[in-house]
Chain A
Amino acid sequence: MFEVRDLHVAVGGAEIIKGLTLSVPAGETHAIMGPNGAGKSTLAYALAGRDRYEVTAGSATLDGTDLFALEPEERAAKGLFLSFQYPVEIPGLSAIAFLKAALNAQRKANGQEPTPAPQLLKLLREKAAALKIDEEMLKRPLNVGFSGGEKKRFEALQMAVLQPRFAILDETDSGLDIDALRIVAENVNALRAPDRAMLVITHYQRLLDYIKPDRVHILARGAIVASGGPELALELERDGYDKYLRAA
């Protein structure tokens, strides 16, 4: 379903991703683990289409569609979702207005009518309740004054509302306390489905106690240097990244 082949990405002329190949079949959740500076966030941004993350070679496809031929909003409409490591604060734009604009823009791109306001509100309430998000928070300006945990919960809410086909979770565990981590993980797990796949990017094994991956890949110096089952994450937790850094 999601395929990356021999991907090279440069930022400001410096190559960060150096020939990365990855395949995530429908219904599976994969984890990418790697030390600081390995290129984890660069990979996430390049796939989502951020400016200045220049794809110099290779391909990425979602359901056979070339992602790099699409604008960021077109990738989203196609079903790609990136949960940001650092969600952006937008004063003056309420969280609810943001969600409404996002959902209806995607529906429009896919030839669907906008969701009627009462139905949308009901959907938001239901999903927000599952994430223990206070309705008042939805009226506040987007991410402004949200705690780290609230921001990540709001990312999870967006994912629950937008129902992406392929989700990339970039360090969703950073800034989360144990309770918030559990709530976010439960909601991510609830989204696991045979027709959906996920890529969880993280430093630590801890998140993977809650979101159990089918496969674990180790990213070091811009490429996948090892892949294995969930046991690979436990080995990393015990032995660290040293071995892979030396080998890479």
Chain B
Amino acid sequence: MIQRADLPTRRNEAWKYSDLRAAMDGVALDAKRSAATPTHGGVIGALAAQAGNVETLVLSPGQTIVRVDRPAKTFAPRLLDTHVAAGATLVRVVVQEDSDAVSLDAAHVRVAAGGTFRQFVLAEGGKLARVETHVSVDGEAAEIELNGAYLASTGKHADLTSVIMHNAPGAETRQLIKGVAAKGGRGVFQGKIVVERAAQQTDARQYHHGMLLEAGGEIFAKPELLIHADDVQCAHGNTAGGLDEAAKFYLRSRGVPEKEARAMLIEAFLVGAIPKGLPEAIDAELRERIGKWLEAHA
């Protein structure tokens, strides 16, 4: 059982920028059952288990599933425990809608040989909202794409955390996270990629680009690459900055009003993280959400 006193604070490395214990002040901990079975997915996984909120999804070899997950707008930690069998493909889109709640969502994804896991998270934040993804590459030549975008408006905290363990050789991993923070908003990206000794010929790229929309926004990024194999290609990049003033002037000089120019540029920046080839309706929803957020907050 996880009690209030067990909740992580900033002193815990994995929660360095997201003080869960402080955020849970005044929120009731749900404990329908004890965590009898060992769970994956860290603290969120354990909280989900004790709330009876774990979903298991096993794909059969060669099967393709596309799913959209929408974390609750109340405190209801949940875990998706999934196994992508050989040659199967799981495409997962997570839409974490703006709320005032502590919103916790975790996925634990095991990928077998030749399996594909593609994920895109759109996080609008909450009192504290975290979408955490643990990927374990267990078979050869898997393909992983773990993209996301966070939009942190005033008073919102949006956290995208992921751990990708490469335990088998020849995987191709791509991660592109983009995010914006308005005044008083906080965006967090923690991304760890581990390449074990057995995972030779892993090709992993990880990029995070944050944009502070105005003074008083906060972006925290902790990219980590741990490589224990010697025949691999790994790259990562991490930037944070403001809006490109030269680009804004270019648009304005062509007649586009300042507010509109700003929104166009931020949108252009964010949509770069949306993966190609998502089902049309999902792609349209993501773009529409970003557009609406920009109308309200940019």
**Which A residues have a C-beta under 8 Å from some C-beta of B?**
48-51, 71-73, 75-77, 82, 84, 87-93, 98, 101-103, 105-106, 109, 141, 158, 162
Contact = CB atoms under 8 A, between A and B. Distances in A.
Nearest to B245: A51
B268 A92 contact: yes
B65 interface: no
B255 A109 contact: yes
Across the A-B interface, the 10 shortest Cβ-Cβ residue pairs: A92-B268, A102-B254, A76-B255, A106-B255, A93-B268, A72-B252, A88-B250, A105-B255, A105-B256, A73-B252
Contacts of B271: 92
B257 interface: yes
Interface in B228-245: 244-245
B131 to A, nearest CB: 23
Contacts, number: 79
Contact of B247 (A51, A76, A90, A105): A90
Contact of B256 (A51, A73, A88): A73
Q: Which of B253, B258, B269, B272 counts the most A-chain CB atoms under 10 A from its CB?
A: B253
A105 B257 contact: yes
Given A73-B258, A90-B268, A93-B268, A102 B251 contact: yes
B270 to A, nearest CB: 8
Given A93-B268, A101-B264, A105-B260, A88 B247 contact: yes
B272 A76 contact: no
A133 B70 CA distance: 44
Given A101-B256, A162-B254, A72 B268 contact: no
Contacts of A88: 244, 246-247, 249-250
B249 A72 contact: yes
B22 interface: no
A89 B246 CA distance: 9
A49 B260 CA distance: 17
B265 interface: yes
A30 B198 CA distance: 70
Contacts of A87: 250
Contacts of B261: 73
Contacts of B269: 91-92
A106 B261 CA distance: 13
A83 to B, nearest CB: 10
A51 to B, nearest CB: 7
A84 B255 contact: no
A76 B250 contact: no
B166 to A, nearest CB: 29
